[in-house]
Structure 1
C-alpha cells in the first residue's frame, strides 16, 4: 500500500510520471485537474462552486479543492493507496491533507520531488509550443511554484525523495521506483 504526493515545477514531467507510476504501483492517479473536470462535468455541488470561480476568472479556493480531494480519497479504489498529482499545492493544503489522512489513521509513504534545472524547464515548456507559453509566462509560473509549492518540501522534509528528472520517461520512472523501494 503506497500513498504518494508528487511535487515538481511545471514542465518537470509530473503528469507523465504519475500516469506510469500509478499503473506500475497499482494505485489511482489523482490529479486536481481531473477532479475539477469530473466534479464540473457531473455538476456536483463542489463542481458548481468551482465552476463559478473559474467562470469569473478566479482561482478555486483551497477549501473547495480540499473537499474534492477529501471526497476522492474516500472512494474505494483509494483505500489501497493513491498517487496525488498537483495537490497539495501549498502548505495550508498540506496541513489539510495530513488531517484527512489522520482521520483515516493513515500517513503518506513519501513525497516524490522531480528535480529539473530551471533552464531545462523553460526549454521543455517552450518546446511544447502552447500559444500561452511565452518565456515570461513560464518564468512567472516557475516563480509561483517556488513561492507557493516548494515550501511544502519543508513541511514533508523527512518524507521527501528527490529524483533527478532528466532523461527518458523509463529512466526517470526507474529512478523513482528504485528510490521508493529504498525508502520503505
Structure 2
C-alpha cells in the first residue's frame, strides 16, 4: 500500500505487547516505511569505529549508559545521511564516518556532556516525501527525550499498543522452553503433549528466570511509571493514538486501518 506523505512514527507499549511483531507487519505492508533502531545505530557505529562509536563503546565497557545527546546524534546522522533531515544553510551535515570538527575531537575518555550542542529545529528542514517514512525504535523512552527529539523533527504519529497486564503475564509466564533446541511451548495455547516435557526428545522443559511472574510484574510496573509522562507529552501534541487488543492478530488490522486513514493514498 502506498503512502501520500511522510510518516514519522513511534510505537509505545509494555514489554511483551508485541511491538516488534507490529513493526514487522507494518514494514511488510507499507514498503515506503523504514525502521530506524537506536540500538542498531549504536552497534553499527561501534563496529565501524566512528568517533561517536568509539566513545559509546568505552562508556558501555565501563557499565555506563550511553547518554541521550549521543543517541540523538546517531539518529540525526542517520536521517541526514538518507536525506530525510536537511541542514539549513550554515548547519553542519554529519555522516557515520564524519571527520568534521564537531566529532574529530571526540576521544574514548571524553566527557559526553562536552559534545557540541545539537542544532535547533529551525536549523533543519525535514522531508515530507512518502519515501522518508520511518518507525523509530528504542527512542524516545521518556518525555524529556521526546522533547529533545522534537528539536530535530516532529513525530506525527505515536501508536500506544495496550494489552491488559493479565494477558501479557499469561502469555509470557506460561512459556516453557526446551533449551537445547529452542522449542517454545505455552501452557495456554501451545501445550506440550506431556506436562513440562519436550514433545520430540522427552527431556524436561525449563522456564527462563526472566519469564517468572515476579520479574514481569516488576517490569510492567516500571514501564507504567516511566511511560505515563511520555504518553502525556504526545497526547498534548495531538499525535497519540491508542489501540487495544489481547493479541497481535487482533491489534494489527486496527493499526492498518488507522495508519492507512492518516497516511495512505485514498
Question: So what's the TM-score if we normalise by structure 1?
Answer: 0.84
CA deviations 1:108-134 (Å, max 9, x no partner) are 221011111112222333327544333
Q: Larger helix proportion, structure 1 or 2?
A: 1
For the Cα contact (< 8 Å) 2:22–2:248, is it kept in 1?
A: no
Q: How does 1:1-184 map to 2 (within 5 A)?
A: 1-25=6-30, 26-76=32-82, 78=84, 79=127, 80-101=132-153, 107-126=154-173, 127=175, 130-157=208-235, 158-169=238-249, 171-183=250-262
CA shift for structure 1 position 77: 6.8
Separation in 2, partners of 1:49, 1:111 = 31
Q: Is the CA contact (8 Å cut-off) linking 1:49 and 1:64 kept in structure 2?
A: no
Q: How many residues align?
A: 178
The answer to whether the 8 Å contact 1:53/1:60 transfers is yes
Q: 5+ residue gaps in structure 2?
A: 1-5, 85-126, 176-183, 185-206
Higher Rg of the two aligned structures: 2
Contact 1:153 1:160 (C-alpha < 8 Å) held by counterparts: yes
The secondary structure found in structure 2 opposite 1:48 is helix
Q: Quick one: distance in 2 between partners of 1:65 and 1:173?
A: 29
Aligned-CA RMSD value:
2.2
Give the secondary-structure state (helix, strand or coil) at the position aligned to 1:60.
Answer: coil
Greater alpha carbon shift after TM alignment, 73-82 vs 84-93: 73-82
C-alpha distance in structure 1 between counterparts of 2:69 and 2:171, whole Å: 32
- What TM-score do you get using the length of structure 2 for normalisation? 0.60
Q: Counterparts of 1:147 and 1:95 in 2: how far apart (Å)? A: 18
Q: Do the aligned partners of 2:35 and 2:135 also contact (CA within 8 Å) in 1?
A: yes
- The separation in 1 between residues aligned to 2:38 and 2:211, in whole angstroms, is 21
Please give the alpha-carbon distance, in whole angstroms, between the structure 2 residues aligned to 1:51 and 1:136: 32
